[in-house]
Amino acid sequence: MENTLYLPEIREMLAEQDTAALQEFCKALHPARTADFMGGLESTEVWQVLQYADPSERVEIFSYLPEATQLEIVRTEGATEVAALITELASDDRVDLLQNIEKPLVQSLLGLLPAEDRRDILRLQAYPEGTAGSVMTTEFAKLAESMTVQEAFQELGRQVEDLETVYYLYIVDEQERLRGLVSARNLISAINKPNMLLQDLMDTQLIAVLAGDDQEQVAQKVARYDLLAIPVIDEQNHMLGIITHDDVIDVIREEAVEDAYRSAAVAPLGQGYFDTHLLSLTWSRGIWLAVLFFAALLTAIVLKQYEARIESWAWLSVFIPLIISSGGNSGNQSATLIITALTLQEISFRDWWRVVKRELAMGLLLGSGLALCGILSTYFLFEETRSFPGIAIIPLTLLLVVICGTCTGSILPLLFKRLGLDPALMSSPFVAGIIDILGIVIYMNIAVILLTSI
């Protein structure tokens, strides 16, 4: 959402060292907007501007900068200033940031941090990417169940400065084990009962996740239960951190991008289109393109068996792309419908028979429709397709190929799910590859049987 409208003004303010104007620029807008307005500046200029912001604003604006700018600032600016900034960053954000920095620099920065921050970073870094632990923040509101409502308000007033959110207050015992939860909403509704104990107010029907849980499952839980944040615990119910709604939105968007890439056979990039190096982008694509090439080579091997037939009836080869694309498209539709339904947990493997019946029925309907299109369109193309048996080949093939497409496209993702694999692996290009081969076998056999038997 970079906005280059005010770049000349910002540069002028910097050149003139116009303190008042720059302070106002850092303060007047939402920090995300301030970050957007600096989108066209060099990272050193951004850092100069940030010196005019007060520390809490500075870290806010910094956290909304593009990752590439953040990394450049950390790499090029003075270690002491950068360390001060890192101390202020949210605990999950700074771990993400340091992950992309060279090891020696990380070591020297860690040495400049207070011991507590250093420990926190090292602990969070230990969780593998994609787990709940890797996206959680360790800053959350902690209260004891023996507190009264009034004490809770006072305690919150003290804790609030260091916290990202105070909308869920977690009740823990002396061993930091999670006992319950009081929402700010419930606390406010009890404002006229100042002596009520939190243990009488707290909710004990807790929805939590384990630190090792997959971040996609976490996102689904938060979405299903309409939560603002979800606590992350260990096997002994110790409270480790929370995952907040904004990180959940990021996870959902990230997973949607990954699914889109997978459906186009691109290995996940982990970065933006222009931020990814040309060679690593080529690799992400090339590896799958090569796999698909060798899968498609099977079509050539199969077709080679029919080479003599094609020599006799060359007009048959004209319809090869039409037939395999019809099969591929119908299979692709089925695969996408089933993968989406599996992801949203609308269906599971045990529904396979219901799915197959539906897809068979749809294949029959769609195949008949395309067969009709086939009769009409081929009639005008070829002499050979105007009388029997030529007229029957294309429609009959289309009918069978589409049925075969819908069935294969729906069964393969279910099968992958059953085998514990990601059903999305069986998405378009692979389904299309398999159906291509089946389509050619169906087409050639129908053609040979009809043309030779009559």
Site for a copy of itself in 347-406 (CB under 8 A): 347, 351, 354, 358, 361-362, 365-366, 369-370, 373-374, 377-378, 381-382, 402
- Cβ at position 14, least distance to a copy of itself in Å: 22
- Is 6 a binding residue for a copy of itself by CB under 8 A? The answer is no
Task: With beta carbons less than 8 A apart as the criterion, state whether 337 and 384 touch.
Answer: no
Find all residues with CB under 8 Å of 2, minimum gap 6, and list them: 36, 39, 40, 66
- Cβ at position 78, least distance to a copy of itself in Å: 28
And the tokens for 331?
């299979």
- Cβ at position 411, least distance to a copy of itself in Å: 14
- Cβ at position 23, least distance to a copy of itself in Å: 15
Which residue, 58 or 83, has its beta carbon nearer to a copy of itself?
58
Work out which of 70, 134, 165, 408 binds a copy of itself, going by CB under 8 A.
Answer: 165
Work out which of 140, 423, 428, 434 binds a copy of itself, going by CB under 8 A.
Answer: 428
- Cβ at position 18, least distance to a copy of itself in Å: 21
Q: Which DSSP string do the residues of 97-146 spell out, in sequence order?
A: HHHTS-HHHHHHHHHHS-HHHHHHHHHHHTSPTTBHHHH-BS--EEE-TT
* Cα 148 to Cα 145: distance, rounded to the nearest angstrom: 8
- Is 259 a binding residue for a copy of itself by CB under 8 A? The answer is yes
* Cα 334 to Cα 316: distance, rounded to the nearest angstrom: 28
Task: With beta carbons less than 8 A apart as the criterion, state whether 238 and 247 touch.
Answer: no
- Is 249 a binding residue for a copy of itself by CB under 8 A? The answer is yes
Which residue, 10 or 362, has its beta carbon nearer to a copy of itself?
362
- Cβ at position 398, least distance to a copy of itself in Å: 8
Q: Which residues pair with 238 in a beta bridge?
A: 177
What is the CA angle 43-44-45, rounded to 5? Answer: 90
And the tokens for 355?
């799915």
Work out which of 123, 263, 352, 389 binds a copy of itself, going by CB under 8 A.
Answer: 263
- Is 128 a binding residue for a copy of itself by CB under 8 A? The answer is no
Among positions 25-54, residues that touch a copy of itself (CB under 8 A) are: 28-30, 32-33
Among positions 267-326, residues that touch a copy of itself (CB under 8 A) are: 272-274, 278-279, 281-282, 285-286, 288-290, 292-294, 296-297, 299-301, 303-304, 307-308, 310-311, 314-315, 317-322, 324-326
- Is 425 a binding residue for a copy of itself by CB under 8 A? The answer is no
Q: Which residues pair with 177 in a beta bridge?
A: 238
- Cβ at position 98, least distance to a copy of itself in Å: 20
- Is 340 a binding residue for a copy of itself by CB under 8 A? The answer is yes
Residues 173-212, one symbol each (x = binds a copy of itself by CB under 8 A, - = not), give: -----------xx--xx-xx------------x-x-----
E-assigned strand segments in 350-400? none
Name the 3-class secondary structure at 303: helix
Closest CA relative to residue 364, chosen from 402, 408, 338: 402
- Cβ at position 372, least distance to a copy of itself in Å: 9
214-239: burial string, b at 16+ Cβ within 10 Å, e else? ebbebbbbbeeeebbbbbbbeeebeb
Which residue, 32 or 79, has its beta carbon nearer to a copy of itself?
32
First vs last Cα of the chain: how many Å apart? 66
Task: With beta carbons less than 8 A apart as the criterion, state whether 374 and 323 touch.
Answer: no
What element of type H or E holds 172?
strand 168-172
Work out which of 42, 54, 119, 253 binds a copy of itself, going by CB under 8 A.
Answer: 253
Among positions 57-116, residues that touch a copy of itself (CB under 8 A) are: none
Task: With beta carbons less than 8 A apart as the criterion, state whether 439 and 323 touch.
Answer: yes
Which residue, 34 or 131, has its beta carbon nearer to a copy of itself?
34
Size of the site for a copy of itself (CB under 8 A): 121
- Is 14 a binding residue for a copy of itself by CB under 8 A? The answer is no
Task: With beta carbons less than 8 A apart as the criterion, state whether 202 and 145 touch.
Answer: yes
- Cβ at position 102, least distance to a copy of itself in Å: 25
